[in-house]
A and B are shown apart, each in its own frame.
Chain A
Amino acid sequence: MTSTQVRRTDVNGARIPDRSGRTRTTYLPHLDPAAAPPVPRPGLGRPTAEERFTVVGAWVSAFALAWLLTQRILPLGGPAWLLVAWFGLGLLMSAVTTSMTGRRVDVVDRVVAGIVTSGALVVGAALVSTVVFVVYRGWEPLLHLNFFVDDMAGVGPRDPFDRGGIGHAILGSAIELGIAIAVTLPLGIGTAVFMTEVGGRFAVVVRTIVEAMTALPSIVAGLFVYTVLIVALGFPRSGFAAAMALSVMMLPIIARAADVVLRVVPGGLREASLALGASRWRTVWHVVLPTARPGLATALILGVARGIGETSPVLLTSGVATFFVTDPTDGVMNSLPLFIFKGARSPEPMDIERAFAAATVLLVLVLVLFVIARLVARPPRARAPRPARTPRAKRAPEES
């Protein structure tokens, strides 16, 4: 800030010739401390009681009006019209009540808040309806313990629920996923280690291809294994083929997720390890992988959660068995998603009910895997506060 500028602006309305010789007028704004702000500032804290009453009251009155209009006055019975009318009238009511005290921007703000909240509520309702509907349609078979341990061998579609179960499907899913994990985990993490730790031009090629292959639709992965393994090589439809299809689908997902996790390991840790004389392998094994362990576990569990529910590759490659199969190379094998799919397409109501029960089991499994992933991925909790050290006990601080 030069002095000329100050001089130019400190006199209100003074004409000062500038360099080009023209004169410009500069007006200083008056500051009137007593005047109200030209634009009222919206409150940023928690809403006042009045604001809360405006919002809640608008929606409550909108519901009453909507009920009156749709159920009593207009010939628009049914809950669907009630909800639509409630939504529309609620926005209208919010706008009207807000416009009594606020300006146009406040009205828009309130209406948009209503729309956004309603959208989130619709999504929440859809999720809740999915879970509740599946459990509601399938709770009956779940009450029988044999549903979890028996197979469906010799059980007809009209047999009561105390006969037969999905033990074979659960076992089949476990075997197929076990093989798939045994294949994809070393390969996926190994590839990620290669891409992040070794690098080079070849790693860029690998990364590009792996990222491209995450776009492979699961049905195409299944068709690939079906064509190569079953048609061309004459392998029977089996749990092993299904595991291969799942591996093909999961490998790019896990490799990519592990790559993302390893990339954010701080380079300083690597450099410190190398500077201490560790070989690159020891650096990876003792520094990089342990640092990234929670992230890697999350990547694996989410990959498994994806694989356990994937129906289309299994549909093409494993065939359907109604009995326990423990040897994955020995003919057809059932799995949970396949059992659900076959049951859902069956015309028998009890088959459908069993399918819903199996879907509940699958849902619970995914939920459990998901919660484990969350727990593993959580950053390690802050240690319990240590007793304050006296300055005397200032030994080498342990690493933490």
Chain B
Amino acid sequence: MTTLPAQDSVLPASQASPRRLARRATGADRVFEIGARTVGATVLVVTGGIGAFLAWQSVPTLQRYGWSFFTESAWQPEADVLGIGAVLVGTVSVAGVAMAFAFPLALLTALYISEYAPAGVKATLVSLVDLMAAVPSIIYGMWGYFLVMPHAAAFSLWLHQHLGWIPLFDVQADPDAAVWDQSRYIGSAFCAGIAVAMMVLPMSCAVMRQVFSQTPPGEKEAALALGATRWGMIRSVVLPFGRGGIIGGTMLGLGRALGETIAVLLIISPDFVIKPRILEVGTSSVSALIAGRFGDASAAQLSALLTAGFVLFLITLVVNTLAAMIVARSRSGAGTEA
């Protein structure tokens, strides 16, 4: 046995490609090599071209508006005032709410599947989580809009009444009105965040479960043999081993949450104000801005939208790269294809 497939995943990505051959390829080999190289180059041009195109399109916008493009909250092309300050804050708050819901639930579900579930149903549960990840986002959007939003609004009111002194839970409405004004509590970042949480939850959960399932059984059995309870074993073996997977899976989910469009677009009522009040009606996100404004955009405005898209892409890229690095660097990253 010279090669075990399990060893491949331990090698860093750069070593996974075959070693260089000293002999020059001839005949059919040469055709194959050139053909494969051409395909690779094509894909490189196509995918890299998108990034380059977005960057190139951003230059005039950034020259025109400068730093204020990131701080200005209004999006009024007719008045020549453009900025993504408000939408960036909105994007982050929607993703933040989503992660606040998704992270604990994903962690608990992953722990349940890997440690608590009876062996007979484990495979079914894993498939269910994968299936949940495959459900289109528009369906979660409809679920959030038609089913959850009224209840989320009622919960928002309760939060406002009891925790309204925290700026995060403040709403500019009277919390103790005889008939509460539901329209002040719907269409908020909070409501959108719940739907987005449903979308990112299975993704984070799948990564975490995969990492938990790679915990060396010897160490788990050692903990149990030393008298640990199941939770003691999880706390001392599974969670430390899976720390990289927990962080990486969460960040991968965050990357998805930042770029989510349709569910957010369906639920929020667009508003361009920088505010910390996540329970209040009206917010926006970069992707919802693009989806809402592309149709009537002039060339300059389109370039501004592309710049917003480029900024979103860069944020997602940084988050995803960090996640991949964390998963790969930690001990638990071995053999994980996150």
Residues of A within 8 A of B (CB): 39-42, 44, 80, 105-106, 108-109, 112-113, 115-120, 122-124, 126-127, 129-130, 133-134, 137, 186-188, 190-191, 193-200, 202-207, 209-221, 223-224, 226-228, 231, 248, 251-252, 255, 260, 263-268, 271, 279-282, 284, 302, 305-306, 308-312, 315-316, 337, 340-341, 344-345, 352, 355-356, 359, 362-363, 366-367, 369-370, 374
Q: Which residues of A contact B147 (CB under 8 A)?
A: 129, 133
Whether B90 is near chain A, meaning CB under 8 Å from some CB there, is no
B18 engages A109 (CB within 8 Å): no
A359 engages B139 (CB within 8 Å): yes
Report A222 CB to chain B, min CB distance, Å. Answer: 8
**Contacts A204-B14, A268-B3 given; does A212 touch B138 at CB 8 Å:** no
Shortest Cβ-Cβ A-B pairs, 6 listed: A309-B136, A119-B108, A217-B259, A199-B17, A190-B39, A120-B112
**What 1/0 mask marks residues of chain B from 93 to 125 whose CB sits below 8 Å from any chain A CB?**
000000000001111110111011100000000
Among residues of B, the one whose C-beta sits closest to the C-beta of A102 is B229
From B42, B57, B287, contact of A217 by CB (8 A):
B287
**Contacts A191-B39, A204-B17, A217-B261 given; does A231 touch B302 at CB 8 Å:** yes
B36 engages A306 (CB within 8 Å): no
**Contacts A210-B43, A248-B50, A267-B2 given; does A220 touch B313 at CB 8 Å:** yes
CA A260 to CA B234, docked complex, whole Å:
30
B313 engages A217 (CB within 8 Å): yes
From B2, B19, B201, B262, contact of A312 by CB (8 A):
B262
A214 engages B320 (CB within 8 Å): yes
Q: Which residues of A contact B41 (CB under 8 A)?
A: 202, 206
B47 engages A210 (CB within 8 Å): yes
The contact size tier of chain B is 35 or more
From B14, B42, B138, B266, contact of A187 by CB (8 A):
B42
B36 engages A215 (CB within 8 Å): no
From A197, A211, A219, contact of B261 by CB (8 A):
A219
Report B16 CB to chain A, min CB distance, Å. Answer: 6
Report A88 CB to chain B, min CB distance, Å. Answer: 16
Among residues of A, the one whose C-beta sits closest to the C-beta of B262 is A311
Report A349 CB to chain B, min CB distance, Å. Answer: 11
CB<8 Å pairs between A and B, sample of 16: A39-B227, A120-B108, A190-B43, A194-B37, A195-B17, A206-B41, A215-B320, A221-B50, A223-B290, A227-B306, A266-B5, A267-B2, A305-B134, A310-B136, A363-B136, A366-B136
From A123, A207, A306, contact of B109 by CB (8 A):
A123
Among residues of B, the one whose C-beta sits closest to the C-beta of A221 is B50
A130 engages B3 (CB within 8 Å): no
Q: Which residues of B contact A205 (CB under 8 A)?
A: 44
Q: Which residues of A contact B116 (CB under 8 A)?
A: 113, 116-117, 120
**What 1/0 mask marks residues of chain B from 266 to 306 whose CB sits below 8 Å from any chain A CB?**
10000000000000000000010011001000010010011
CA A196 to CA B17, docked complex, whole Å:
5
B305 engages A223 (CB within 8 Å): yes
**Contacts A205-B44, A215-B320, A264-B9 given; does A130 touch B29 at CB 8 Å:** no
CA A212 to CA B315, docked complex, whole Å:
12
Whether B216 is near chain A, meaning CB under 8 Å from some CB there, is no
Among residues of B, the one whose C-beta sits closest to the C-beta of A305 is B134
Q: Which residues of B contact A124 (CB under 8 A)?
A: 128
State which residues 200-231 of B face A: CB under 8 Å.
201, 205, 224, 227-231
Q: Which residues of A contact B337 (CB under 8 A)?
A: 260
B51 engages A281 (CB within 8 Å): no
From B57, B231, B310, contact of A113 by CB (8 A):
B231
